[in-house]
Homo-oligomer: A and B are copies of this chain.
Amino acid sequence: MHVDVCSVVCIHPEKVDRARTRMVSEGTAERLAELFKVLADPTRVRILSALQHGELCVCDLAAAISASQSAVSHQLRLLRVARLVKVRREGKMAFYSLDDDHVRHLFREGLEHVAEE
């Protein structure tokens, strides 16, 4: 990151100022990027997709998406800390489900964009 404005000339200062005041804060941008980063992996997308219609235990998830248990566990951790999924423990099993409808919305919005092309 470096404050390096293109010389002097080409700028429309009023446009820039208007944009700056309306922009999200740096912290918000950071957290927003962090959220999308969690959604930005095929394995995690498939996990979320598999959970769209109800909870699954880790082992079932691994089977559903044809990935190793370890890989799934690692990814579930990321999804958990981002509050995209939640856990329900029952004995030695762990049942995962989508955390809220919000996740579903984001997912569907994304799907629509992908479907467009």
Contact = CB atoms under 8 A, between A and B. Distances in A.
Interface in A76-92: 83
A12 B60 contact: yes
Given A19-B56, A56-B15, A102-B116, A3 B42 contact: no
B29 A45 contact: yes
Contacts of A53: 18-19, 22
Given A10-B93, A36-B40, A53-B22, A15 B110 contact: no
Nearest to A112: B102
Given A19-B64, A33-B40, A106-B106, 7 more contacts: A2-B68, A10-B57, A10-B60, A19-B53, A23-B49, A30-B42, A32-B111
